Amino acid sequence: MEVVSYVLLLINYSNITVMNKLVELRSEINVMGILNVTPDSFSDGGRFAVPDSALKRVESMIEEGAAIIDIGGESTRPGAADVSAEQELERVIPVLEGVKSRFDVLVSVDTSKAVVMSQAISSGVDMINDVRALQEEGALQACAASDVQVCLMHMLGQPRTMQKDPSYNDVVESVCEFFKQKLSACEGEGISMQRIWLDPGFGFGKALEHNITLLRRLNELNRFQLPLLIGISRKSMIGALLDERPVEGRLQGSVAAAVISAMNGARLLRVHDVKATVDALRIVKAVQEQ
């Protein structure tokens, strides 16, 4: 076989493999492993800012069963400072390219900036995970010009101020109304619904009672018939429910919240503790499949 045909065959094969993985990602319950590449990351102390150690962390998350790795270069914890696009690009792109060249795994990039989205798309990202739901300038267009998956997350306000007394009449209905508007913006830009994920944004402009209500009524978000991505791992809500437990002691609470989410329809759990969550979700799947 000619070299050119052989290369084309390989490219087609790898596209089919990625497509199969995406179909599986949208239809089964899976785990997304978190890889923060921010110096001020709240849960890993910034240990993974250097690409080499980041790659080791990715390898172990894959071995533990993560279906997708979420790389983030902007801290979105409450009160976090803004980062420039240049800083974000410097942090995220080498890690994304390193992961894509070494591992056969889906990768998402957690960003709100159009320029970072576009660069990540050129570097082979599979999903854009945007906590600002494509509201920043150029973000809708950057995603529309690609075929990557897109996660639209609900947030009230901005990370710097979002936890200052958030208030809702009905948090579930507010989140649904927000999704309606963002889905219509996506449709208007030509982003197909087959690429969209929804995320209620636990801890993003929500008091403890709002987070509990969202978890209890999560199944109401299934009205959009789109896969739900849930990020609840080690969040302050878990700490608050465990007598202000610090981040290191939130494993069991986080796994319990992941199980509740999966029982209520979540398809993708964004977590720090991959193995424990994967094990717990195997129990959920066995019960759901019977």
Residues designated as active site? 235, 270
Of 153 and 278, nearer to ligand 9MG (C-beta) is 153
Q: Which two tokens stand for residue 63?
A: 């071995």
Distance (Å, whole) CA 105 – CA 154: 26
**Structural contact between residues 35 and 61, judged by C-beta atoms closer than 8 angstroms:** yes
Q: Is 30 in the site for ligand 9MG (CB under 6 A)?
A: no
Q: Is 72 in the site for ligand 9MG (CB under 6 A)?
A: yes
Of 62 and 131, nearer to ligand 9MG (C-beta) is 131
Distance (Å, whole) CA 217 – CA 282: 22
Q: Is 31 in the site for ligand 9MG (CB under 6 A)?
A: no
Of 105 and 270, nearer to ligand 9MG (C-beta) is 270
Mask for 119-138, x = binds ligand 9MG (CB under 6 A): ----------x-x-------
Among 44, 97, 199, 273, binds ligand 9MG (CB under 6 A): 199
Indicate the DSSP class of residue 163: T
Q: How many residues does the chain have?
A: 290
Please report where in the chains the tokens 């109401």 appear, as a residue.
220
Q: Is the dihedral of CA 62, 68, 73, 79 positive or negative?
A: negative
CB of 11 to ligand 9MG, least distance (A): 30
CB of 179 to ligand 9MG, least distance (A): 13
Which whole-number Å values give the CA distances from 42 to 194, 214, 229, 233, 290, in the listed order? Answer: 33, 23, 20, 12, 39
What is the three-class DSSP state of 105?
coil
**Structural contact between residues 211 and 253, judged by C-beta atoms closer than 8 angstroms:** no
CB of 111 to ligand 9MG, least distance (A): 9
Q: What is the binding site for ligand 9MG (CB under 6 A)?
A: 72, 76, 110, 129, 131, 151, 153, 199, 201-202, 229, 231, 270
